[in-house]
Every structure is written in structure tokens, then in C-alpha cells.
Amino acid sequence: MENVKFSFPGKVAVVTGSAAGLGRAMAVQFAKAGANVAICDLKEELAKETEKLCQAEGVKAKFYKLNITDEEMVAKVKDEIVADFGTVDILVNNAGVTTAPGKMGPPMSMIDVPEWKRLVGVNLIGTVTVTKAFAPIFKEKKAGKIVNISSQAAYAPAAAMPHYNASKLAIVSYTQSCSVELGKSNVNVNAVCPGFIFTNMYVGAGQELIDRYPQIFGSCKTEEDVVKRLAANTSLGRPQKPEDIAYAVLFLCSDAASEITGNAVIVDSGGIRR
């Protein structure tokens, strides 16, 4: 899949959580497609690497330190982006967190209320906060694309992380609601639900799964084995790469998808076959 081609010349894409992982892949793919990219994340060092990778594609790319749970900071960064780039055409709400290390299941009993608030505060309320800040730009110009990153966990909840599952299903519902309101302003709002990819988010999780679920992962020695074991249950029998998720995001932001809105596209190699 090296020959996937999209074209967004001169468009401005804001990607939250793009310091690394799936968000970095999205930022770089937008840059390869000619879009200028605003890279928003908490992690400066990694985000600066993404910035360089995007700039190497010949587009304008700039890092903005952003905590999506801080409403004032979101408003300030939005103003800075508009001042620097002139406008915004695309918003990808990708920043998210998962279960804190060592907090994976069993469900409910090990996950206390502050942990629920932490996770839902980033994944759901953070997405809401950023969308509220940028939506007026799209409404005014009567154009725009928003993609919210959900998860296969929205539809196939993992036993180990009920708060993550709930936050990601809530993102699908929020996406549908936004699509109704913003559709009147010619704005498409969709979600993408990735399968399982070992990014920084899941450092150490492979071993945790092996230890907690020996009946499933007992034959696994490494994180790579865990990925293969999970992928073995998919229709295509293989894991996804960050770029596979990025391609779905770019498709939804392209003219080819102009009549797709309020949708949740699952990119999991046929894992949950919904």
C-alpha cells in the first residue's frame, strides 16, 4: 500500500495528539498530500520530530503545545493557528489516553473514580473542548471536515478497560450528534475506529496481557507475538499499521467522501465484522 494518493494542496489540517503513533502518521500523510499541518500535543520533543517530517514534505508545519483538557489553552492555540495559517479546513481529534499502566482490569473493581474522570476527561471531554473551539470556523465558512478517533473498543469492548470502551463509544455518539448540527453548515463529521496497534500508548501492555490472560496469550513471548495473536482473529489475519488508520482519515477528509457523515469507519482488518 505504498501508492495511496490523496491531494489536499494548501488545505490546513489540525491533528491533535500528533507527536507520535497514529497522529504522527496522519500528520505526515496529510503533509505528503500537500496539506499544511498544525501539530498539537503535550509532548514537545516527539512533536518537533513530527514537525520536521511534515516540513520535509515541503509544506508548512508547526508544533503547538496543547493540553486538550485545558479550555483556555485550546482557545489560545486555536487563535494562534488561525493567525499562523489563515484558516482551518480539517480537524482530527486524535489525542487520547488509555488505561494507566498496571490498571488493566479486572473491570470496575480496580478502576477508581478519579481514573474514570482522568480518562473520560481526555478522550471525550477533550474531544468536545477542541471541537467546540474549532467548529465556529467551519460554520462560518460553510465547509470543513472533522474526524474523531474512536476505537474498535467502542463496539468490541475489551474486558480490561471499561472506561476506555465507554469513552470511545461516546465519541461515536458525539460524532453522530455533531454531524447533524454541523451538516447544516456543509461540514462532515465522522469517526475512525482503529484496531489494535502497539504505539507508545500500549508500552508494557503486551506483557500485562500475557500475565493477565494466560489462557489467550500464554504462548506469546513478546509484544510482537501478542499483536500477531490478536491479528490472527481478524478476517484478513494481519495487524494494521498507523498509515492504514491515516488513509481512512484522509479518505474521510477528501472530496470522494463528501456524502459520508455521521459515520464510524472501522479499520481493524475485519476484527469485529460489525
Active site members: 164
Site string for ligand NAD, 166-205 (x = CB under 6 A): ----------------------------x-xx-xxxx---
Start-end of H helices in 160-256:
162-183, 205-212, 214-217, 223-231, 242-253
- Which residue among 13, 26, 37, 68 contacts ligand NAD (CB under 6 A)? 68
> Quick one: which of 34, 43, 143, 229 contacts ligand NAD (CB under 6 A)?
43
The distance of closest approach from Cβ of residue 24 to ligand NAD in the complex, given in angstroms and rounded to an integer, is 7
List b or e across 232-266, with b for residues whose CB sees 16 or more CB atoms inside 10 angstroms.
eebeeeebbebbbbbbbbbbbbeeebeeebbbbbb
The interface region with ligand NAD, picked from 49-57, 91-99, 111-119, 217-225 by CB under 6 A, is: 91-99
The end-to-end CA distance of the chain, in Å, is 24
**Residue 190 in 3-state DSSP?**
strand
Contact indicator for 136, 142 with CB cutoff of 8 Å: no
The sign of the torsion formed by the CA atoms of 58, 149, 171, 203 equals negative
d(Cα 22, Cα 39) in Å, to the nearest integer? 12
Check residue 260 for interaction with ligand NAD (CB under 6 A).
Answer: no
Residue 119 within binding range of ligand NAD, rule CB under 6 A: no
Question: Is the CB of 21 or the CB of 206 nearer to ligand NAD?
Answer: 21
For the CB of residue 13, give the shortest distance to ligand NAD in the complex, in Å: 16
Residues that bind ligand NAD (CB under 6 A): 16-17, 19-23, 41-43, 66-69, 94-98, 122, 126, 149, 151, 194, 196-197, 199-202
